[in-house]
Structures are given as C-alpha cells and as structure tokens.
Amino acid sequence: MASNKRPNFLIIVADDMGFSDAGCFGSEIRTPNIDKLASTGLRFTGFHAAAACSPTRAMILTGTDHHIAGLGNLIEWTDFSGQNFPKGSKYSTAPQRGMPGYEGYLNSRVAALPEILRDKGGYHTIMSGKWHLGLTKERSPHARGFDRSLALLPACSNHYDYRPDAEFPKFLEKSVIALHMEDDHYVEKLPDTWYSSDGYGNRMLEYLKEWQDDSTLKEKPFFAYLPFSAPHWPLQAPKEYIDHYRGTYNSGPEDLRQQRLKKLIELGMIPKDVRPHPVVADEVQGWDEMTAQQRAMSCRAMEAYAGMIECLDHNIGRVTSYLESIGELDNTFIMFFSDNGAEGAAYEAYPMVSGELMAHLGKYYNNHIDNIGNKDSFVWYGPRWAQAATAPSRLYKAYTTEGGVRVPCVLRYSPLHKGREGEITDTFATVMDIAPTLLSLAGIEHPAPEWKGRPIVPMRGKDITPYLSGAAGNIHDPTEAFGWELCGRAAIRVGKWKADFIPFPKGTSAWQLYNLETDPGETEDLAQQHPDILQELLVHWEKYCEETGVVPLQPELGARFHEAVEAQMKEGEWMEYEYWKPGALEERRRTEFVRKIAKVADPRLKEGAAGQPSNVLAGGTEA
C-alpha cells in the first residue's frame, strides 16, 4: 500500500454506554471486537463528551461547542421542561426556547465535517445510525455532506420499529417512532426483520461494498460514521444475546459496581486508593428494599442492556472484519466511544412524566419478566445500574459531573501510534478534538471564517496527532479551560481543578470545587478551603458562557441568566417537524406538520441593540 495514501476514517459511537461497559474497560459484557481494537490501539480514560446525545453529536461533526452549533440543549428537553427534571427540581427550559444556539438542529454557523471532507477534500462520506441533529430534509445528513446515509432522525425509538396502535403520552411521542431518512428521502417502511444495531451494521457494510466495488469511488478515501442508537432505552435486544447474561446480575447493582471498580483498578485505569462517589438514587428503592419479584425484573432489564452492547459489538466486528478482508483496516483511523455517561433516569419517579407514561406502558406493552427485551417490552434500568457503570465517577448522563461526561474511548491507527499498542492513557481529550484530527490527517484546512458564502465559526478542538505520534506529551495545554452546561447543570475545568454546579435534588445548587487528580470521584468539596481557585474558575465560566452563548437556567450560573419572556413560555411549539402526530408520516401530508420556529429577541440585549453580546454569532444569523 502506498505510504502517501490518505487514510480512511471510521467513527463509531455508542448511545448511553457507561464508562466500564466494554470488556477492555473492566466489564463482564462480551465485547471481543471493541477489545481487539483496544489491544491494537489506545484506550483513553480521560476522554470527555457533552452530558447528553445530540450536543455530543454536534461537537463530533463540527469540532466546536454544542451551544454554538445549534444544540445548546436537546430540543426534546427545550420543548418540554418535564422530560429531564426529577422530583424536587424547580427549573424550566423556557429561557432557552428560540434562542441562538438552541435551534435543535445543526445550524448554519458551522460547517459540518462530512461537508468539508467531501467538498474540500474529495472524501466519499457515508453514515448509518442515529443523527439527532435535525428532523427535516434541510437538516438531514444528506443536506450536511453525506453521500450515502441511513439515519434515525429523532433521539430514540423502538429498536424493532414496533409501536402499538394508540395515542402516545407526551413523553413517548418522540421516543417510539423509528423515523428514518435514506439519502434525500424519508423511509416509508423498515424491513420486517429490523433491529437497530443489525440494521445499521447491514447498511454500513452495503455502503462500504459500494465503495469497494466502484472503481471511481475507490479512488477516494472514505469517511464512515457509525453512530448506534443502542444501548439507549427501551432496553431491547435479540434473545440470543440476552441469554448470555441470564443470572449474571442476580446479586444486584452494588455488587456489580464493586466488581467493576476492582477490575478498573487491576487494569490500571483508576488509582488503587480511589474514593468512588456514593450512589445517588433516593428516588428509587434500594436493592434490599425490593421484593424478590422487583429484583428479578431489575436484573432482566440489566440483562437486556448487556445483550444490546454485545449485539452492538458484533456489528462493529462485522465492519472491521470487512475492512480487514479488503486490506483497508490498517489504513483506516478508527475511534469508538460513547456519547455520554450511562443513562440513570428513573422516569417512573419523574412527576411530569410518570403517571400517564406508566399507565400507557401497562396497557400497551408486555413488561412481563419473561418478555423483557422483546419488541413489545419497554423498560429502562435506572440510576443504580447506571452508577455501577460510571463508578468511580459522580452521577450519570445529563449531569456535568464526571459520570455524565467522561466516556470510554478506543482509538486505532497504527501508522501514528506504532509501538504503543494496548496502551492506556489518561490524557485529557474531548469529542471536539475529532474533527481537527481528521482534517489534519486528510491534509485539509478548516474553511473558517467562511463556507459557501456564509460566515462560520472556527473549531475549538485540538488536533491529537502530535500526541499520538509522541511529538507532544499532552493534547491540551493544562491551563486551557473547558466548560459544560446542560439543563442548568454546569461545570468548568482547568487542569486538575473542576467546579461543578448541580441543582437540587442531585446537588447543592451551589458551585462545588474538586481536585480531580486526587479525587476523581468528586467526593470532597474544596470550595471553602480554596475560594481563590473557585473564583478563578468562575471567571473562566463567565468567559465560556460569553464565547459559546450558554443560556443559564438559574441566576447562580452568572450574569447571562434571564427570565423567559412571554413568547418563550408555551411548551410544545419548538420542534420543526411534529412527526408523531396522526397523518404526519404520510408523504403527501408531511408539509402540514413542518413549521418554521420563531426566533426570540434576546432578552439580555437592551432594546434597539444589535447583535449578540458575544462572538457566538460570528457565523451570522440563522435562517
């Protein structure tokens, strides 16, 4: 193979997979294909994402912060506050509705990675899996640079495309229908044998074989994006995978948590003297408080979750084996990671969700113990199992603590890291670093400040190739600041110091300070001992908000806080395509259910002032 051949790229994303859920990160779950990538590549224990799915996906495909790229929050959570606030929460997402950076789709202020790779670099771009960056044709993967794509457009769906003939409660409206597009058209019907991970694996293989068999396409390197929708709830998987775990979890989540921690220590991934954060799960019963039947049901949910991960791994193996069979594996830069921490929500305890949701599930789904994991079941596994996977870190998905944003990551590209195979590194990195790295390897400059006649923002991530090659000791300067914000939960980090703001009831509704070098579990708040360090971090926090356009949901998060104006108060009016409504999936009627979302004048600006009080709109106004 010619040494000057440009590399292919394969970016693989799991949905809501916990830090220790792969075998090479200490799990009992069978993941031989991820483990093989790890044994011939590098494992990152300091790799970070956003605290939830579409924000992370925006960062992957743009190299910048999700508040800039249009996914300041999940549009589902912006549209309806109760979707992500547990009992005791007092906040509303109304102030974010209609604001710049909260459009709910990949906006025009960014150039998408596949657009740049294809149009500027001549790459063949393919995708199979979850998009979650827009629901209409104008916001689709096809419109943002993918030559071929099969994409799940919403946040999640039934993995078997099963849905009962019933009116959905509000929470399930956007969580059941498997709305897909292939290239430039909506998919009218998925195959009768559809299961998400298998379906995405199948289509990715088809696209790769098209590339291999077409002599013209084969002259181009490829960018392949394989974002699975597993293991996001509902927890469903083919029986042959679930059966591998029958009885594995009968001793409960705390026993699993201890097993995982022991294995992580053995692997050298966490310190021997680590202080794991205590499990926070007051909204659900403890294991010892459950009846035998409740414990058995909980174990079956965890078994289904494990089966989902094994099936996902199987499909990763199908793709990598094919690349090996055609001689392209070693010329393909591969990354595997999760989009956020494990999902710990206990929706049965969410006051805005629980009543009608649980009644609907009881009436239209079969959650009998022997049916859990099948197409007509609908379960999640809750905060205790999730914190078994995020340990030693604090909390889980949707929280800006380490349990929500630190994710497992495997990278393989032997031409760059030769001699370091099997290495485990704790260097800090983020999903924003992917786009700069791929562009660097492809020999392409990012086009900012302009792309196709419109102004765009530059990337915030860093090229990791100097670190991989050994030319640099770190990816990021230890004095560089990194911020996170989602649903009023926030964090700012510089080097070993991190400040978290977690509202009641999961936190104190005050800024807390942690030294991650000595306390990766975020167990000892040092705010009182080091007020100067906390204040310095909060200066960085204000700057981060100013640069990215964060709209805080409570005054404790700084000067950019504002009360929602009247135009923002009404819920259910902030998604472009109401695909869940009767008739909305019919091609002849689709346009009836697509609407233009009104933009709200920024309440933080004085009347008559022009522009945004930051550089977030450097890319121009969103159409």
Looking at the structure, tell me whether residues 381 and 236 fall in a common domain. Answer: yes
Provide the domain limits for residue 320: 9-332+351-417+425-469
Task: Establish if 619 belongs to a structural domain.
Answer: no
Could you confirm whether 53 is annotated as catalytic?
Answer: yes
Residue 583: pLDDT band (50, 70, 90) is very high
Write out 376-400 in H/E/C secondary structure. CCCCCCHHHHHHHHHCCCCCCCCCC
Catalytic residue among 24, 53, 156, 545: 53
Burial of residue 254, with CB atoms counted within 10 A of its CB: 0-12 exposed, 13-18 middle, 19 or more buried: middle
For the segment 479-501, what is each residue's pLDDT rounded down to a tens digit?
A: 999 999 999 999 999 999 999 99
Q: Is the peptide bond before 505 cis (omega within 30 degrees of 0)?
A: yes
pLDDT of residue 86: 67
Task: Establish if 609 belongs to a structural domain.
Answer: no
Catalytic residue among 48, 132, 159, 446: 132
What helix, strand, coil percent values describe the chain, rounded to 5?
A: 35, 15, 50
| Look-up of token digits 């993967």 | 141
Closest CA to 25 of 42, 13, 43: 43
Looking at the structure, tell me whether residues 399 and 296 fall in a common domain. Answer: yes
- In sequence order, what DSSP letters do the residues of 134-177 get, joined into one string? -SSGGGSTTTTT-SEEEEE-SS---TT----SSPPPHHHHTTS-
Looking at the structure, tell me whether residues 62 and 101 fall in a common domain. Answer: yes
pLDDT of residue 1: 35
- Confidence check: pLDDT of 227 > 70: yes
Domain boundary among 407, 441, 469: 469
How far is residue 564's CA from residue 546's CA, in Å, rounded to a whole number? 19
Q: Is the peptide bond before 86 cis (omega within 30 degrees of 0)?
A: no
Element (H, E) at 125: strand 124-130
pLDDT of residue 619: 36
In the chain, the amino acid numbered 446 is H
Task: Establish if 125 belongs to a structural domain.
Answer: yes
Task: Establish if 603 belongs to a structural domain.
Answer: no
Q: Is the peptide bond before 231 cis (omega within 30 degrees of 0)?
A: yes
C-alpha 414: how far from chain center: 26
Looking at the structure, tell me whether residues 462 and 504 fall in a common domain. Answer: no
CA angle (445 as vertex; 14, 437 as ends), nearest 5: 30
Q: Are strands 481-486 and 489-494 parallel, antiparallel or unpaired?
A: antiparallel
Looking at the structure, tell me whether residues 457 and 522 fall in a common domain. Answer: no
Task: Establish if 18 belongs to a structural domain.
Answer: yes
* Own/partner long-range contacts of 202-206 (Cβ < 8 Å, ≥24 apart): 203/128, 203/150, 204/126, 204/128, 204/129, 204/319, 205/318, 205/319, 205/322
Task: Establish if 620 belongs to a structural domain.
Answer: no
- Residues contacting 244, CB < 8 A, separation 6+: 30, 306, 307, 310
Residue 605: pLDDT band (50, 70, 90) is low
Could you confirm whether 48 is annotated as catalytic?
Answer: no
CATH of the domain at 64: 3.40.720.10
pLDDT of residue 90: 73
Q: How many domains does the structure of the chain reveal?
A: 2
How far is residue 189's CA from residue 579's CA, in Å, rounded to a whole number? 15
Confirm if 130 and 227 have CB atoms less than 8 A apart: yes
For the segment 339-395, what is each residue's pLDDT rounded down to a tens digit?
A: 999 999 998 877 767 788 999 999 999 999 999 999 999 999 999 999 999 999 999
Looking at the structure, tell me whether residues 456 and 530 fall in a common domain. Answer: no
Closest CA to 430 of 317, 498, 337: 337
Looking at the structure, tell me whether residues 444 and 562 fall in a common domain. Answer: no
Task: Establish if 32 belongs to a structural domain.
Answer: yes
In percent, how much of the chain has pLDDT > 90?
A: 88
Element (H, E) at 568: none
- Confidence check: pLDDT of 142 > 70: yes
pLDDT of residue 617: 35
Looking at the structure, tell me whether residues 485 and 462 fall in a common domain. Answer: no
Confirm if 104 and 516 have CB atoms less than 8 A apart: no
Looking at the structure, tell me whether residues 392 and 505 fall in a common domain. Answer: no
- Confidence check: pLDDT of 220 > 90: yes
Closest CA to 127 of 14, 204, 33: 204
Q: Are strands 332-338 and 409-412 parallel, antiparallel or unpaired?
A: antiparallel
How far is residue 71's CA from residue 100's CA, in Å, rounded to a whole number? 10
Looking at the structure, tell me whether residues 152 and 180 fall in a common domain. Answer: yes
Q: Which residues does residue 44 pair with via DSSP β-bridges, in sequence order?
A: 409, 425
Relative orientation angle of helices 32-39 and 292-325, to the nearest 10 degrees: 50
Q: Are strands 148-152 and 124-130 parallel, antiparallel or unpaired?
A: parallel
- Residues of 427-457 as b/e, b for ≥16 C-beta within 10 angstroms? bbbbbbbbbbbbbbbbebebbbeebeeeebb
Task: Establish if 69 belongs to a structural domain.
Answer: yes
- Confidence check: pLDDT of 616 > 50: no
CATH of the domain at 562: 3.30.1120.10
Write out 250-277 in H/E/C secondary structure. CCCHHHHHHHHHHHHHHHCCCCCCCCCC
pLDDT of residue 349: 77
Closest CA to 385 of 236, 255, 231: 255
Q: How far apart are the first and last CA of the chain?
A: 46
Looking at the structure, tell me whether residues 369 and 500 fall in a common domain. Answer: no
Mean pLDDT of the region 229-258: 98
Average pLDDT, the chain: 94
Residue 581: pLDDT band (50, 70, 90) is very high
How far is residue 609's CA from residue 564's CA, in Å, rounded to a whole number? 19
Looking at the structure, tell me whether residues 135 and 267 fall in a common domain. Answer: yes
pLDDT of residue 618: 35
For the segment 439-464, what is each residue's pLDDT rounded down to a tens digit?
A: 999 999 999 999 999 999 999 999 99
